[in-house]
């Protein structure tokens, strides 16, 4: 059993993590095995996210102190929270993890983004968005495309010019 001082230390840690996270994803983990939770934590760590299981009361107090308008006491089931370093990585990882395991009882219960509460449907929609890295790749490809096309056009003109010069040289022989 945790002492009051242990709870205060845990509360401070959760408040700092909540302040440092761009998004939070609340999941109902009731009926999920320890093995599956460990696998979920490992997947979340790959994206820089963390998953914690806390009592709803401690989580609500921590969220309130962090300035996040979300109430986990109203959510059904046993709630775990994923702290995400960006807007979509935790939601995307949890949604993909749920899709990958058909018999998994884990469900997305809600979340928070930029201090505002999100419903489960909003978190699932957030999970469908591309990540920052994917968007950066699309932007780089978009910026690079006109330059590459211009280079191909110039190369085509030069190649045509060389063919014309070669034909002139052949005709003078």
Q: Where are the domains of the chain?
A: 4-129, 130-173
pLDDT per residue as tens, the chain (173 positions): 788 898 899 999 999 999 999 999 999 999 889 999 999 999 999 989 999 999 999 999 999 999 998 888 888 889 999 999 988 999 999 999 999 887 888 899 999 998 899 999 999 999 998 877 788 888 888 888 888 777 787 777 777 778 888 888 888 87
Please tell me the predicted confidence (pLDDT) of residue 40.
Answer: 93
Between CA 152 and CA 26 the distance in angstroms is 50
Predicted model pTM: 0.76
Contact 68, 16 (CB under 8 A): no
Please tell me the predicted confidence (pLDDT) of residue 15.
Answer: 92
Between CA 25 and CA 88 the distance in angstroms is 10
Please tell me the predicted confidence (pLDDT) of residue 13.
Answer: 93
Please tell me the predicted confidence (pLDDT) of residue 59.
Answer: 92
Instruction: Give φ, ψ of 132 to 5 degrees.
Output: -60, -40
Q: Which fold has domain 4-129?
A: Alpha-Beta Plaits (3.30.70)
Torsion of CA 77, 34, 108, 125, to 10 degrees: 180
Contact 36, 101 (CB under 8 A): yes
Which residue, 158, 88, 71, is CA-closest to 128?
88
Please tell me the predicted confidence (pLDDT) of residue 153.
Answer: 77
Q: What one-character-per-residue DSSP string does 91-104 give?
A: HHHHHHHHHH-TT-
């Amino acid at each position: 059993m945790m002492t009051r001082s242990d709870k205060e230390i845990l509360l401070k840690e959760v408040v700092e993590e909540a302040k440092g996270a761009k998004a939070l994803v609340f999941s109902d983990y009731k009926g999920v095995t320890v093995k599956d939770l460990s696998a979920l934590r490992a997947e979340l760590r790959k994206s820089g996210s963390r998953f914690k299981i806390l009592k709803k009361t401690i989580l609500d107090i921590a969220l309130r102190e962090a300035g996040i308008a979300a109430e986990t006491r109203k959510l059904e089931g046993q709630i775990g929270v994923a702290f995400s370093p960006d807007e979509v990585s935790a939601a995307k990882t949890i949604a993909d993890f749920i899709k990958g395991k058909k018999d998994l009882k884990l469900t997305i219960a809600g979340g928070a983004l930029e201090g505002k509460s999100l419903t489960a449907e909003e978190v699932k929609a957030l999970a469908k968005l591309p990540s920052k890295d994917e968007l950066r790749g699309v932007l780089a490809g978009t910026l690079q495309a006109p330059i590459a096309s211009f280079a191909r056009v110039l190369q085509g003109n030069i190649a045509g010019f060389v063919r014309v010069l070669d034909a002139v040289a052949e005709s003078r022989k």
